[in-house]
Structure 1
């Protein structure tokens, strides 16, 4: 009578114990996977795209700055694409329009965010138009005399009486 286990043979390799080098390699893979999951959870994009869809390269401390730069770049592109809101025309960053629509002697800063008037009633427009809804703007006024801020239309004439 033959025994039940006859004909089955197991190789010695199946039963050998793992060496310390193999243990550390396996442990390193597990730790790398845990670190990847942890960093992707902490530094994930706002639209909650799964980490496998965003990058095939595992995230670790060496490539974390590159990953953060990529996330910030995507956020900046989204902000720029959302710049067109109903009731608003113009670029997403509002600056002073120094090419037209001004009156008087004005010195405009290089960044187009500041202006110094050297005449009695200097006037300048910005590069953005609003035509619908509620809008606010923020300015810093520094003057030794009379100064006005407000809204104007594209057909507004800038001269010493109007502006």
Structure 2
């Protein structure tokens, strides 16, 4: 039974479902200070919470707002457009890449995501007529026939 419980805990989805850290108050603003949440609040809630990121244009919250606005602005492309994964031979082992295309409008986008803590370079000959639509790194651009992704960098390229 002990082995079963251990395996169950390892595979539980609750590890990624912690209470929302709204602010630096007791229980991270998730519930009143006199209540006890059924799951543990992260120990870093005083530094990492929604309130601390509201006015920071470089925050994770600001990035997600930007991505959601992008999805809303380009719904035909990012929601209804076709999806094609880029082969690892094209992106390298540590970069996940895919393309989206809206056949009705002719819009195309390529998304490159660096899943490593090291800089990655992706050949960009096919992206010569693309520009950076959004990125989580400064200075994202296609230079000398390649896209350079900083550690854990992400870039969305759009044609036209």
- Coarse TM-score class (shorter-chain normalised): under 0.3
Q: TM-score, normalised by structure 2?
A: 0.25
Q: Specify which structure has the higher proportion of strand.
A: 2
Q: TM-score, normalised by structure 1?
A: 0.25
